[in-house]
Amino acid sequence: MQRNATTQYPILLIHGLFGFERIGHFELFHAVKEALQAVGCRVFVPHLSATHDNEVRGEQLLLQIDRVLRGTGSNKVNLIGHSQGALAARYAAALAPHTVASVTSVSGPNHGSELADVLRQALIPGELPEKVAQNVVTLFADFLSVLSGSVAMPQNALAALGALTTQGAARFNQQYPQGLPESWGGQGPDCVNGVRYYSWSGTLPDHSQPSLDPVEHICRKLSKYFKKDAGQNDGFVGRFSSHLGIVIRSDYPFDHLSILRGVSPARAVSPNPIELYVEHARRLQAVNL
């Protein structure tokens, strides 16, 4: 593990849709937080609504940024958002850039998710063949069955789903375009209003043998509903939809959740996803953030 990656500003790790404390045998952000703290970073995990739109979650984040600033004496924070957490981070940076040093999107649906489009259509009678709708909803329910933990915050699942569709993301992007690339699949500006923007994401790894990981198995099933990013997605988010600011890389061999997890000796991958966060702390440290 790399040493001496202390950042000037505290790091906030922001969860996405259905944020939770534990999934299966591991805790969300646990390995990431421990790795960052081990190299000297001050790390906080704000609690946001598990299901709500980007604006509501963004307002909750702004309040917690203020608490962190008061508690640490710092005048800015570094925001690292996974999945929908990236959009909450973008909202906070757009409204209060003087409090945000950087926004990093990890597998963020910055242009929406084709899966969210399918799920939203599945809730409208007659919009999809019954069998397709049933398969999608069942797979999504299977995925949620491995999640546990909740926070006493306002919830609105339909608002969350609408915000993650490509149409919902397009509306959000019209109001908060900071860091977005001008062309599909390109890179965005590295700095807007004094805030630096970064992103990285993954695509489903190519395995000749079926995975024993139930989460990856479900992600592979869900990936079949992508059209524009067919074969270029992590099961929840398309590769090019994730681009924001400086794109570090968007095809790491990770599904949507393994990008948060350490690897086991039985199934080592390179790079280790947790090391990416430490590398990023050094990246932020190098530009005095």
Q: What pLDDT shows up at residue 143?
A: 55
Q: What pLDDT shows up at residue 268?
A: 56
Which residue in 53, 117, 213, 234 is the catalytic one?
A: 234
Q: Convert the chain into a string of H (helix), E (strand) and C (coil).
A: CCCCCCCCCCEEEECCCCCCCEECCEECCHHHHHHHHHCCCCEECCCCCCCCCHHHHHHHHHHHHHHHHHHHCCCCEEEEEECCHHHHHHHHHHHCHHHEEEEEEECCCCCCCHHHHHHHHHCCCCCCCHHHHHHHHHHHHHHHCCEECCCCCCCCHHHHHHHHCHHHHHHHHHHCCCCCCCCCCCCCCCEECCEEEEEEEECCCCCCCCCCCHHHHHHHHHHCCCCCCCCCECCCCECHHHCCCEEEEEEECCCCCHHHCCCCHHHCCCCCHHHHHHHHHHHHHHCCC
52 is catalytic: no
256 is catalytic: yes
Q: What pLDDT shows up at residue 38?
A: 95
Which residue in 49, 83, 107, 223 is the catalytic one?
A: 83
Q: Domain locations in the chain?
A: 11-286
Q: What pLDDT shows up at residue 4?
A: 75
Q: What pLDDT shows up at residue 223?
A: 92
Which residue in 82, 111, 256, 280 is the catalytic one?
A: 256
Q: What pLDDT shows up at residue 151?
A: 43
Convert the pLDDT of each residue in 23-74 to its tens digit: 455 567 888 999 999 999 999 999 888 788 999 999 999 999 999 999 999 9
Give 11-286's CATH code, choosing from 3.40.50.620, 3.40.50.150, 3.30.210.10, 3.40.50.1820.
3.40.50.1820
223 is catalytic: no
Q: In which residue ranges of the chain is pLDDT below 70?
A: 1-3, 19-27, 124-152, 207-211, 262-269
Convert the pLDDT of each residue in 264-278 to its tens digit: 544 556 789 999 999
